[in-house]
Structure 1
Amino acid sequence: MIYKANTNQKVIALTFDDGPDRRFTPQILDVLNKHHVKGTFFLLGTRVEKYPDVAKRIQNEGHVIGNHTYWHPELTKTSVKNMKWEVKKNEEAIQSITNFKTQLFRAPYGALDDDLVDELSKMGYRGVGWSIDTEDWKSLSSKEIKQNILNDIHPGAIILMHSAGHWTQDLSGTAEALDEVIPYLRKKGYEFVTIPELWAM
């Protein structure tokens, strides 16, 4: 498991859960492209199958893809057997679209216990948590999201954001916040990296 990198280097990883979709994922990709930043996207199998073109775009634009289960259950309330099914089913969905098998896994709600982490390891996956929660899923404004990042920013941070959500959620603040926070943090000397790059540190 990784929640942050133990480093004094001013590096940050931007991560995005619950995608892809056609509402907010493209907005986020546009902002990342504009600023030449690569992110790590933890995708849901159901949405990969529904929006294969957006999943492909994430890959084509050089971002890292991670597994975020197929249906988004709270795994600690299910079983090891169910987690294996969720991970494998999503693995098949991602591979069928991208021809790529990820080794990165993030649990919905970050809900994992020792048994689940042990099984993930046996399956060849590495668990990814976060050290900064933007709480963007609450449909926050860009100003609030930006403040949640800047309040807790530190070297080696993993920032949790969302590139899709429930149809009632407005995640437009996420892309807007990114557009402001990336140049701001760059001026402060921060560099944006992917989870595999952070892990290597």
Structure 2
Amino acid sequence: MTKWVWPVAIVCLLTAGCGVSNNKPYHDQRSAQNSHVDEVALADEPSVDSSRIDSTPLASPSIKPTQAPSEAPKATAQPQTTPTVAIPSPTPKTSQKKATQPEVSKKPSVAVQKNQGHVRISQKKLTLSQLAVKYPDTFKLRGSSQEKKVALTFDDGPDTRFTPKVLDTLKANHVKATFFVLGVKASSHPDVIRRMVNEGHVIGNHSYSHANLPKLTVDKFQNQIMSTESVLQGLIGYAPKLIRPPYGAINEEQVRWVADHHYLIVNWNVDSLDWKSLSSDQVLSNIMQQTKPGSIILQHSGGADSQDLSGTVQALEPLIIKLKAAGYTFVTVPELLHVTKSK
């Protein structure tokens, strides 16, 4: 009996000892495995593979009572990984925002460049030809090419040296012309202005003192036009509708003012260049080479003391004869453009 006591006692002690030792390793192994999963999840967070997330099973485990304690960690490991793997899902959205951030910031700069480009275009100075195209009802360079008519125009008068001679030639050849006169000279030679009107010529406004209009302030520009108009209205009985800026120079703001006040800018498309004190042959040649139906021809009946317009006076009658022989009719600017002479 005694020989069986010791083996039984040893077996009982061994059995009891194994039960105690297995309880503690179960909890320790579960905790260790959970901590390992957390470390893997955190290490993978910056670059999450969506295929891995989709393939992760989300079913909750079930532990059978007969299952050995050593297998329990395998069954409980999967439910613990579910929340840790799902946590990194916002990461791709954050990285996408960072990737698209530079593109979003570029959009305002493009718009600004477009706006700045638009400002540069609007501030760009237009040429006289461009102004004539943009403001066809206010800025004229020529008449209709459908009629074989031309208009003789004379600038910078009146004076007592050349204007009376020009008037004599026009009268002798029964031609009516258009004179763009300066306010300061009209004040000094009112009798010459009255003669122009009495002989059927049309008067236009050429500023008061032959100023370069684009270089003037708004007030000074307006004063150049209005002062001349005031002088002429007292001499000719009407406010001229026609304006010819000195040198033909005018800017867009001034063109708009002219339009708002019901004037008409009249430049030219044939330049005799007589202001260079050319000979009569040169003046005649310059005009004949350029003249076409509807042409507005520029000449001068006055100028600076240093200018010699004898060539203009001498070329005038041969010019009239040649153009009449070619079938042209001479008309005033209002007749050529079909507008009134007064504002």
TM-score for both structures, normalised by structure 2: 0.58
The answer to whether the 8 A contact 2:163-2:301 is kept is: yes
Q: Helix, strand or coil: the match of 2:151?
A: strand
Cα drift, residue 200 of structure 1: 1.4
Higher helix share: 2
Q: CA deviation at 1:101?
A: 1.2
Cα separation, 2, equivalents of 1:80 and 1:122: 14
Equivalent residue letter for 2:141: Y
User: What is the SS of the residue equivalent to 2:164?
Assistant: helix
Is 1:95 aligned to residue 233 of structure 2?
Answer: yes
Shift of 1:173: 1.0
- 8 Å CA contact 2:144, 2:336 repeated in 1: no
Larger RCO (CA within 8 A; separation ≥ 6): 1
Partner Cα distance (2:300, 2:145) in 1: 25
Matched position secondary structure for 2:140 = coil
Provide the residue aligned with 1:58 in structure 2.
196
User: Which residue of the partner structure matches residue 175 of structure 1?
Assistant: 313
- What do residues 136-170 of structure 1 show as CA deviations (whole Å, max 9, x unaligned)? 01110110000000111110000000010001111
Which runs of 5 or more structure 2 residues have no equivalent in the other structure? Answer: 1-138
* Greater Cα radius of gyration, structure 1 or 2: 2
Pairwise CA distance, 1:7: 2.1
Q: 1:13: how far off?
A: 0.4
Partner of 2:109: none
Aligned partner of 1:81 in structure 2 is 219
The CA deviation at 1:81 is 2.0
Q: Pick the aligned partner of 1:12 from 144, 150, 156.
A: 150
Asked whether the equivalents of residues 80 and 119 of structure 1 are also in contact (C-alpha less than 8 Å), the reply is no
| 1:141 is aligned to 2:279 | yes
Question: 5+ unaligned residues in a row in structure 1: which ranges?
Answer: none
Q: Identical aligned pairs, as a percentage?
A: 45
For the 8 Å contact 1:14–1:158, the answer to whether it is kept is: yes
- Tell me, in whole angstroms, the C-alpha distance in 2 between the residues paired with 1:48 and 1:106: 15
Aligned amino acid, residue 52 of structure 1: P
- The Cα of 1:34 is off from its aligned counterpart by 0.6
2:330 corresponds to 1:192: yes
Q: Give the corresponding residue for 2:208.
A: 70
Equivalenced residues, count: 201
Quick one: which of 267, 289, 295 aligns to 1:157? 295
Amino acid in the other structure paired with 2:275: W
**How many angstroms does 1:71 deviate by?**
0.8
Aligned partners of 1:106, 1:81: CA distance in 2, in Å? 18
Query: Offset at 1:114?
Result: 1.1
Instruction: State the Cα deviation string for residues 103-147 of structure 1 (Å, max 9, x = none).
Output: 000000000111111101122210001000101011101100000
